[in-house]
Structure 1
């Protein structure tokens, strides 16, 4: 699915990185459900409440910065649509995969295999259901701001710092 209209996304992230709302380096460093270690990825939600729930994946409420993003011209695979799942030979079970357990066992998770296939077919990312906020949806984006998908942070009063110096 390619979006012609801007898509509003919400991203909750560690305040220490307030100066880098469009960085996928944290996901690259640790890996995630939809990205292997080494692949920068932006994880964002399509609803504000979902962004908060996904960020605080435990009962501990961590401090967070929440930024609104605007996504344009992205080619996203809607992995919430049964026909799209079927086109890629997977079922909705992929959304419940214990991907960390697979990694711990030395197995490439099905989500990482699907991400590689989507990337090879030219997709910028995917839409998937929130695990932490039933009914909510999220986007994992592997390519942005390098031709094609354009991702910007909504920062009308320039309140976000431009460097990490604000934390020194």
Structure 2
């Protein structure tokens, strides 16, 4: 497998999420609670995009334009597999059809989605997330981060130079 992407400079990511959770922009608990394309239920995951417009499109999933908080994140020291690169897919022995995986349907049939199987393989190799093409924003790229802000993982931080993000849920009471 080609070396996972290692970014010498922090990688800028964009995250659109439910305003109610403004004080927990880096928890990954929503994904853990419901599961997602790249994570089973119980596995915290941060889903973000490499472009602001992609974050917005992915959040709304083409439906009603829901209120959202959009935050800029910086990811440092990450080992990510760039699945938008055909040479990476080839080295992993998979093809681009993984991006069209109907993971919810696969789960409903009681099977394990191929994205979950690939996640397990990558985690075993020390890869802590993926970059993958956006389903909702053609040409856009998304990231799923499986490990962050622990002793041996990458650093993920929110860019909030003026300290405007709430620190507790009290702002929503």
Per the normalisation by structure 2, the TM-score is: 0.96
* Alpha-carbon shift at residue 83 of structure 1 (Å): 1.1
1:125 aligned residue? 129
Q: How many residues align?
A: 168
- TM-superposed CA distance for 1:167, in Å, is 0.8
Q: CA RMSD in A?
A: 0.6
Q: Which residue of 2 aligns with 1:101?
A: 105
How many angstroms does 1:124 deviate by?
A: 1.1
Structure 2: distance between partners of 1:34 and 1:4 = 25
Structure 1 segment 55-134 matched on structure 2, within 5 A: 55-134=59-138
Note if 1:139 corresponds to 2:108: no
Q: 1:148 aligns with which of 150, 153, 164?
A: 153
Q: CA deviation at 1:89?
A: 1.2
2:97 is paired with a residue whose SS is helix
Q: Distance in 2 between matches of 1:32 and 1:84?
A: 22
Unmatched tracts of structure 1, length 5 or more: none
TM-score (norm 1): 0.98
**2:36 corresponding residue in structure 1:** 32
Q: How far does the alpha carbon of each residue in 1:7-37 deviate from its partner, in whole angstroms, 9 at most, with x for none?
A: 1000000000000011100000000000011
Whether the 8 Å CA contact 2:131–2:142 is kept in 1: the answer is: yes
Deviation at 1:59, TM superposition (A): 2.1
